Amino acid sequence: MLTVDAPLATDRLLLRPFRRDDVDALYDLRSRPEVLRYLYWPPATRDGVRDVVAQRLTMTTLAADGDFLVLAVELRSTGRLIGEVDLSLTSTEHGHGEIGAILHPDAQGHGYASEAVAALLDLAFDVLGLHRVTAQTNAGNEASTRAMLRLGMRQEGHLRQCVAFGGEWHDELLFAILADEWTARR
Ligand SMILES: CC(C)(COP(=O)(O)OP(=O)(O)OC[C@H]1O[C@@H](n2cnc3c(N)ncnc32)[C@H](O)[C@@H]1OP(=O)(O)O)[C@@H](O)C(=O)NCCC(=O)NCCS
């Protein structure tokens, strides 16, 4: 079991549980077409984001299959919320988890997503004791693909037409890394 109830610091970031006053920053993130382009989400409304933040307040523990940990990503230098990262427990029996990341466009291209996801991989393998962590992204999402490969994740699959959204079928790429592979990279 893993609970994050206090901020985790990396070199440049704080990964912390969401707070009620994160609604404006999360709305700013989730209402941008360039952020949503590969996420299969309808455009955000402020009320919808308020509900999302309310859910996020309790998404701080991984104890059972299907649990999600979602953390706000804050820049240590300014305190600004620049995105969110998530780790979900997909199979306790097989030691599987899945990670994801979303950054504000202003904050992309600085290595912040890789830095935040690396901290989640540390938690996944060292604290939770997982064996394998995966990530899935739209096949056209080049920035996400580069980030996964930069972290040492291996592309294991190209899933043809596996998501139906907006009246179209979308291909996804599947990436994975094993505990001993992550240990060897550090
Ligand atoms: C996917 C996403 C999080 C990747 O963000 P990102 O900032 O490109 O990823 P990283 O943190 O790995 O940053 C790497 C980039 O920063 C650059 N960089 C600059 N300074 C750096 C540093 N100190 N350390 C590492 N990289 C640095 C790298 O050269 C690299 O640029 P490149 O991809 O053009 O080669 C971002 O594109 C995003 O939020 N997209 C919208 C939401 C989304 O689709 N999420 C994925 C869903 S599966």
Residue 78, C-beta contacts closer than 8 angstroms, at least 6 positions apart = none
Tell whether the model's pLDDT for residue 43 goes beyond 90. Answer: no
Interval between CA 92 and ligand 1 midpoint (Å): 30
Q: What gap in Å lies between CA 85 and CA 74, rounded to an integer?
A: 11
Q: What gap in Å lies between CA 93 and CA 73, rounded to an integer?
A: 30
The answer to whether the CB of 105 is under 6 A from ligand 1 is no
Instruction: Please give the number of the atom of ligand 1 that sits closest to the Cα of 150.
Output: 12
Render pLDDT for 116-169 as a digit per residue (tens, 0 to 9). Answer: 999 999 999 999 999 999 999 999 999 999 999 999 999 999 999 999 999 999
- The per-residue pLDDT for 186 is 84
Alpha carbon 134 to its chain centroid, in Å, reads 11
Domains of the chain listed by start with CATH number: 2-185 (3.40.630.30)
pTM: predicted TM-score of the whole model, two decimal places: 0.97
Q: pLDDT tier at 3 (50, 70, 90 boundaries)?
A: very high
Ligand 1, atom 13: closest residue by C-alpha: 111
Q: What gap in Å lies between CA 104 and CA 144, rounded to an integer?
A: 13
Instruction: Please give the number of the atom of ligand 1 that sits closest to the Cα of 101.
Output: 3
Ligand 1, atom 14: closest residue by C-alpha: 111
| Token pair listed for 34 | 């360039």
The answer to whether the CB of 10 is under 6 A from ligand 1 is no
φ and ψ at 155, to 5 degrees? -75, 120
Render pLDDT for 69-114 as a digit per residue (tens, 0 to 9). Answer: 999 999 999 999 999 999 999 999 999 999 999 999 999 999 999 9
Specify whether the CB–CB gap between 160 and 151 falls below 8 A: no
- The per-residue pLDDT for 63 is 96
